[in-house]
Amino acid sequence: MTATTSGSDTGRLTTALDPTLQRMLLEPRWERAAPWRAELDRITRVDLAHVVMLAERGIVRREAAAALLAAVTDLRRRNFGPIEGRPAPRGLYLAYEGYLIETLGEEVGGLLHTGRSRNDLNATCLRIGLREPLAELVLRLIRLELVLLNRGRRYGESVMPAHTHFQPAVPITYGHYLVGQAGALAREVEALLSAGDGLASCPLGAGAVGGTSIPIDASRTAELLGFAAPVPNSVDAVAARDLVLRILAAAATLGVLLSRVATDLLLWSTEEFGLLRLPDDLVGSSSMMPQKRNPFVLEHVRGKASAALGAFVAAATAMRGEPYTNSISVGTEATGHVWDALSESTEATTILVKVLSGTTVNASAMERRANDGMTAATAIAEEMVRRGVPFRRAHHEVGLAVRLVLDGAAGSLGEVLADRGHFEAPEDVPDDAARVCAAADYGGGPGPRSRAWAVTQARRSATAHRARLNTWTASWRDADERLARAVAEITGTSPV
C-alpha cells in the first residue's frame, strides 16, 4: 500500500478538520475588508438620515439635500472607492466630508455637518456598528441552547457520575448535565439581550456635548436609523459608553461558562475517562506522534472565551478616572476592545455547537464509572433515613461500608449493610446508579419528571430569546426601508 501524504489522512485520522473551523482556527487571517469601509458605511447611513431630517425640517433646501443624498448614495454604491487613499490628517470623517465639498462645492457639501458634531456622530455609529456582531453572537448562542436541549433529551437516560472536587459524587445522566448547561446559558443570553437593549437609544442630536440651537428633529433621525428614541440628555449621549461595558461584562461572564463546559468535555474525552469521543473532523493529529487525537478545538474555546474578560478590564481601565464628557480614552480607546471580544465569543460558541452536535457518547463507560465510583452511596444513606436511621449515623455506616469494599474486606455495599442489620438482604440496597437517577425526581435531580420540567423551562427561554432577537433585527430592517424611501422621495429616485 502506498503511504499517503494528504493532510486529510494522517493514518490515525481519516478526515480533515471541519471546513468552518479550519478557516476559523488554522488558515492565516489575511487582511479582510478594510475597517475604514465599515466605518464609512455607518457614517454615511447616519448622514443619509441626518440630511433627510434637515430637508424635512426646512433647515436646508431640498435641492441641496437631494444633491447631498445623491452624492452619498453614489459613494456607498461605489464602495467608497473615491475616498480610498485620500489624505486624512484630521481623521476619516473630515477626509470624506472634504471629498463632498470638493465634489459639490461648499454651499452644498458644507451643509452636511449642520447641527451635528463628530462626538454625537461617533456615539451613534458605535451603536449601529454593535448591532450585527451582538445579534450574531446571540443567534449562535440560541443555536447552542437548542443543541444542548436536543442532545439533553437524547441522552436523558445515559447514566454517568457527577463529579465534585474531580471525584465521582452522585449519579446523574449526560442529558441532565446538558440541560443544566442550557439553563446556565439562558441566563447569559438574557444578560446579553438586556445589555443590547441599550442599543435602542440614539445619541444623534447631542452635538459636541450641549445639543444645538438649530431646530433639528432628533426623534426623526432616530426613527430613520432604527432606534426607539433619542437619548434625552446631551451630556449623557456623548459621554456614556456604559453600554460597551455592559456588553463586555455579559460576554465575559458568558466566557466563564463556555470555558468551564469546554474543560469538562476535554476531560471526558481523554483516554483516561473515555466517556466522550469527538469525530475526526473536530480533532487534530500530532506532527510527530502518530497515535494522537488532539481535541484542540476545545482549547480554542477556552482561549477565545477569555477575550471578553480581557476586553472588559481594558475598557473599564481606560474609562475610569476620565471626566464625564466626550473623551478619546472613553469613546475610542475603550470601545476599540469590544469588536474582538464579540468576534471571539461568537467563534467559541460556534465551536461548541459543532463539538456538542458531533460528539459520540460512550454510554456503557459512563454507567460503569458511575457504579464503580459507588456514586449511589448518598442514595443508600437516604434510604436508611427513610427507615428511621438519623442521617449522620447513616452517613457513617455507608462510609464504613465503602471503606470495607475498597479495602477488599467485603464484596459490596449491600453485603456490609445487610450484615450490619440495616437491610434484610444485599439486593435490597439501592446501589444501582440507573435506579438512583430514576428516583431523583426532587430538587432538580435527573429523574424523568424533573428533567422534563427543566427541558420545558429551558426551551421556553430559547423561544423567548429568539423572539427578542427577531424584534431587534426586524426593527433594523424596517428602518433601512424607511430611510431608503425617505431618500428616494427627496432625490426623486426609486428606493433601492
pLDDT digit string, tens, across residues 46-86: 999 999 999 999 999 999 999 999 999 999 999 999 998 88
Return all residues near 43 (Cβ < 8 A) that are at least 6 apart.
92, 93, 96, 121, 125
pLDDT of amino acid 9: 63
Instruction: Give the pLDDT of residue 281.
Output: 87
Q: Find where cell 424611501 sits.
A: 485
Residues 338, 394, single domain; the answer is no
In a 3-state reduction of DSSP, which class is residue 187?
Answer: helix
Tell whether 232 and 289 lie within a shared domain: yes
Q: Would you put residue 9 in left (φ > 0), alpha (ψ -120 to 50) or beta? A: beta
For residue 348, being part of any structural domain is answered with: yes
pLDDT at site 86: 84
Give how far Cα 147 sits from Cα of 41, 174, 354, Å: 35, 13, 9
339 and 263 assigned to the same domain:
yes
User: How confident is the model at residue 427, as a pLDDT?
Assistant: 87
**Is residue 391 located within the same domain as residue 353?**
no
- Clarify whether residues 263 and 141 are in a common domain: yes
> What is the model's pLDDT at position 421?
84
Q: Which of 8, 194, 286, 364 is catalytic?
A: 286
Is 208 within a domain?
A: no
Q: Are 65 and 54 in contact (CB under 8 A)?
A: yes
Question: Quick one: cell of 355?
Answer: 463539538
In a domain, 311, yes or no: yes
**Number of domains, the chain:** 2
Q: Does the annotation mark 461 as catalytic?
A: no
- Nearest Cα to Cα of residue 88 among 135, 43, 132, 138: 43
| Dihedral of alpha carbons 409, 411, 417, 420, sign | negative
Measured distance CA(349)–CA(254) in Å, rounded: 10
Which one of the listed residues 6, 165, 213, 287 is annotated catalytic? 165
* Residue 400 counted as domain residue: yes
Helix (H, G, I), strand (E, B) or coil at 170: strand
Nearest CA to 123 out of 237, 248, 219, 227 is that of 237
Q: Cα–Cα distance between 493 and 496 in angstroms, integer?
A: 9
Do 352 and 384 lie in one domain? The reply is no
* DSSP labels, 442-469: STT-SSHHHHHHHHHHHHHHHHHHHHHH
Listed in sequence order, the residues at least 6 apart from 121 whose beta carbon sits closer than 8 Å to its beta carbon are 43, 46, 93, 204
User: In this structure, are 349 and 457 located in the same domain?
Assistant: yes
Question: Is 387 in the same domain as 467?
Answer: no
**Size of the chain in residues:** 496
Q: Quick one: pLDDT at residue 7?
A: 52
Domain range for 176 = 130-198+227-368+451-479
**In this predicted structure, what is the pLDDT of residue 92?**
86
Are residues 247 and 381 located together in one domain of the fold? Answer: no
Is 207 domain-assigned?
no
Contact (Cβ atoms closer than 8 angstroms) between residue 214 and residue 114: yes
pLDDT value of residue 8: 62
Summarize pLDDT for 99-149 with one digit per residue, the tens.
999 999 999 999 999 999 999 999 999 999 999 999 999 999 999 999 999
pLDDT in the model for residue 495: 66
CATH code, 315:
1.20.200.10
According to DSSP, residue 4 is labeled P
Is 286 considered catalytic here?
A: yes
Instruction: Please say whether the beta carbons of 69 and 78 come within 8 A.
Output: no
**So what's the pLDDT on residue 10?**
64
Cα 327–199–259 angle (5° rounding)? 90
The string of DSSP codes covering 315-377 is: HHHHHTTS-SS--HIIIIIIGGGHHHHHHHHHHHHHHHHHHHHHPEE-HHHHHHHHHHTTTTH
If asked whether residues 161 and 263 sit together in one domain, one would say yes
Q: Which residues of the chain have pLDDT under 50?
A: 1-6, 30-33
Give domain status of residue 106, yes or no.
no
361 and 426 belong to one structural domain: no
Task: Kindly state whether residue 68 falls inside one of the protein's structural domains.
Answer: no
468, HSE (Cβ side, Cα atoms, 13 Å)? 21
408 shares a domain with 270: no
